[in-house]
Amino acid sequence: MKLEEYKSQAITRLNKSIAHNEKEKMNYACMGLFEETGEVIAEFRKPLFKGNFHEKPLDIEDIKSELGDLMWYLALICKNTDIDMNQFKPIYNDKEKINKREKIIQIALKMGKRTGKIIEEYEKVYIQKTEKEELISEIQKQYNNICELVNQIDINIDDILNENIRKINSRYNEKGEKENNEQEK
């Protein structure tokens, strides 16, 4: 799936209570990006540090779900700033020969740092009306981190995007309202 196609499908179900308020959309996207980055990192931290990585494998379905949520917030930021996501291409930097566990840890830590930089640049574009080049650069770097991470655990970015669209469509209707089964939870 092309990233711009993903963005247009994913953001159609945006919560309508914030859809028309630019500042609320910015705050919502920033907080969500921090939250989802943390949830992705937590999915790796738990088996890597609380259990034996080889005896307690990573929960690939949960990781895919959290990465999909992270991609959703990146798509929202791109939508809010009119950034074409198709310009983002994966660049793999696999020059270092280190073990898989250490590589995953390094990527997860880079993701956390990169999220802070994305939010900093996003706020500059919104508040100070700066150009988008630095924001685009930071999103590209985060996309690279995501692609490197999925490469390490042998999953496909398209599977993540398609699963996220399915999840969004099952939770929200075309008006951005929660479906009846979601309202009860």
Question: Helix, strand or coil for residue 153?
Answer: coil
Given a cut of 80, is residue 36 above it in pLDDT? Answer: yes
**H-type alpha helices, the chain:** 3-10, 22-45, 60-80, 100-123, 133-152, 157-171, 180-183
What's the pTM? Answer: 0.89
pLDDT, average across residues 174-185: 58
Segment 17-32, tens digit of pLDDT? 777 788 888 999 999 9
